[in-house]
Structure 1
Amino acid sequence: MSPRFSLRGMFFLLCGTTVVVCLGAVGLYLLAQVREAMVGQSSRSLMNLFPLVRELLGVREGQWGSHDSMDALADWLGQSLQVRVTLILPDGKVVGDSQVELEELPGIENHSDRSEFKDALSTGTGQAVRYSRTTGVDLLYVAQLAGTRENPVMVMRLAVPLEDLSSVERQTRWVLFGALLAGLLLSLLGAQLVARYTRKELAALSREVAQVARGEHVWGGASPRIQEVRGLARALAALGSYVAAEIGKLEEARDRMDKLIQAMVEGVLLTDEEGRILLVNRAMSRLMDARVEPLGRTAAEAYRQAGLQEALERCM
């Protein structure tokens, strides 16, 4: 059995789907724009710090391979600039990190496969956003090459947590969720109003169709304001006029036949398949004196004439 939907349900489904799709598309676009704007702002802020890092590296030119010197520089820069500073040799070896202790540096995995590191080596600048399981937020990494692509010295990488981005994204999602609920509620209200108004006009058409079905042959000429219902009303009006005309023809034919039968000098008695009398003309009424009203009764009940009953039984 195919599912059935009410007019209100179908309208709500249509409007609700439209609201969900539109708000979903707007939400995704808005979140992407917010993310792009905030990442871009944070990236520009980090890029402004690289000249200082580059200058301090130049001061320690002879100590670039020293964990002690580079880690101390990374620690000082990280504390002063309030960012994470990582100094990486061209082969991917980490020689300084503001959030890693000096004795733990040898155990850090090689960074040669990091996307921002590879981009910095090939183009001079690299950037990436990765989720940190430790902090529970995304981290923005911006890397820049010290030296030249032909003679790279070191890759300087700065990182900041995108806490503000996560907060703004959460707030934006809540706003979109509220807008979605409001849109669905408005869709439900609109569906209720449209269904009630349409149901009222359809009920008026149904009453007029019922009048035609009962043989009252009256079409009120209702003109609904809804275009689609108005077309249905015109079609039903045409059907009602046709049915009324056909019924009128049948009634005229019935009246002519009744007059003809009543005018016959011979007695006419018409029964159904069960022998119950359907019609008796005036001549038959004069010839046979009925004991009771004959219509709807058998000949034996109405006339108590055995011969008449036997003749009728032979005919049937």
Structure 2
Amino acid sequence: MKLGLRAKLTLVALLLIGVAITAAFLFMRREVHSVLVDHMTRDLVTRAQLIADQVSEVQLPDDDVKDWDALADRLGKASKARVTLIAADGRVLGDSEVPTGDLAALENHSERPEVVEALSSGRGISERHSATIGQSQLYVAVPVQRMAPGGPKVARLSIELEEVEGALQTLEKGLLLASILGLAIAVLLASFAAKSLANTATHLTEVAERMADGDLTARARIRKEDELGPLGAGLDLLATNLSSTLDELTSERDKMSSILESMREG
């Protein structure tokens, strides 16, 4: 299938626009993901610090897992996040998403990156898959400043990153719709521009063909500022020069004919 100039120009424009929109879409998705996670992290840090302050004032025995877990459940509902209370040795004393009877089966949390960071620098942040609940989580841990010995030494909050994915999916739908609309408008404008260029090129071809057939009265008469304008002006100048040259040659021929005719009569 042979494509015309208009179709070729439209396809090239479509390809370039498509690549640009795809690149912009991927860039915006990455940036929005980063912004959302950063916002959620800062919010979670604030909530975690408030939780840690509340836990620091609670007086419960270190081994009273039932009450610590009940406290974690209440704090989880209030903060709308998963709350985990962790002892100095890494044992989980309470978790708002884990039944009390299952706490003893949980892995020791002393090596969790956010816990290690919280105890060493005052705040720990981590993003990973949770083996306990089977979902990707954003974790924020802060130390608990308790005067009494024992009890939780780290309060950790976490939220599902599905919230970020949900927000991204909503954004993607909006971006996709806007991209399709923008692409349609861009293709329409590109098609009009390609049509104008194709019509001008076709007109120049027709003028050149008429000149080649001997019609030196043909003129392009194009007054455009683009690349085709000088080409049309060049064709018009060529036709004018050829016409003048032909007129001069005709005049010379007529003169020679008159001289020869006079010589024959003499």
Q: Scaled by the length of structure 1, what TM-score is found?
A: 0.65
Considering Cα pairs closer than 8 Å and 6+ residues apart, tell me whether 1 or 2 has the greater RCO.
2
| Partner amino acid, structure 2, of 1:76 | L
227-236 or 113-122: bigger deviation: 227-236
Cα 1:105–1:168 shift into 2, 3 Å: same
Pick from 28, 31, 34 the counterpart of residue 32 of structure 1: 34
Name 1:176's counterpart in structure 2.
175
Q: Percent identity?
A: 25
| Partner amino acid, structure 1, of 2:179 | L
Considering only CA atoms, is the larger Rg found in Structure 1 or Structure 2? Answer: 1
Offset of residue 70 of structure 1: 3.2
Matched, 1:105 2:107: no
Name 1:72's counterpart in structure 2.
67
What whole-Å deviation, never above 9, does each CA across 1:48-74 have from its counterpart, x for those lacking one?
Answer: 222111211xx13xx33x2xx135312
SS in 1 for 2:97: coil
Offset of residue 187 of structure 1: 1.7
Name 2:164's counterpart in structure 1.
165
Could you tell me whether the CA contact under 8 Å between 1:71 and 1:97 is conserved in 2? no
What whole-Å deviation, never above 9, does each CA across 1:239-288 have from its counterpart, x for those lacking one?
Answer: 4445556666777898899999999x9xxxxxxxxxxxxxxxxxxxxxxx
Q: What stretches of structure 2 of length at least 5 have no aligned partner?
A: none
Name 1:230's counterpart in structure 2.
229
Offset of residue 86 of structure 1: 1.9
Structural mapping, 1:183-198, within 5 Å = 183-198=182-197
Q: What stretches of structure 1 of length at least 5 have no aligned partner?
A: 266-316
SS in 1 for 2:139: strand
Cα 1:146–1:75 shift into 2, 3 Å: same
- Number of residue equivalences: 254
Cα 1:102–1:250 shift into 2, 3 Å: same
What is the alpha-carbon distance in structure 1 between the residues aligned to residue 75 and residue 143 of structure 2? 21
Q: State the superposition RMSD in angstroms.
A: 3.7
| Partner amino acid, structure 2, of 1:16 | G
Could you tell me whether the CA contact under 8 Å between 1:208 and 1:219 is conserved in 2? yes
Pick from 3, 19, 23 the counterpart of residue 17 of structure 1: 19
Name 1:205's counterpart in structure 2.
204
| Partner amino acid, structure 2, of 1:228 | E
What whole-Å deviation, never above 9, does each CA across 1:20-78 have from its counterpart, x for those lacking one?
Answer: 3334433433343233224433432333222111211xx13xx33x2xx1353123332
Q: Scaled by the length of structure 2, what TM-score is found?
A: 0.76
SS in 1 for 2:171: helix
Matched, 1:88 2:83: no
Could you tell me whether the CA contact under 8 Å between 2:53 and 2:144 is conserved in 1? no
What is the alpha-carbon distance in structure 1 between the residues aligned to residue 102 and residue 134 of structure 2? 23
What is the alpha-carbon distance in structure 2 between the residues aligned to residue 27 and residue 10 of structure 1? 26
What is the alpha-carbon distance in structure 1 between the residues aligned to residue 187 and residue 121 of structure 2? 55
Matched, 1:52 2:54: yes
Offset of residue 101 of structure 1: 3.7
SS in 2 for 1:9: helix
What is the alpha-carbon distance in structure 2 between the residues aligned to residue 113 and residue 255 of structure 1? 109
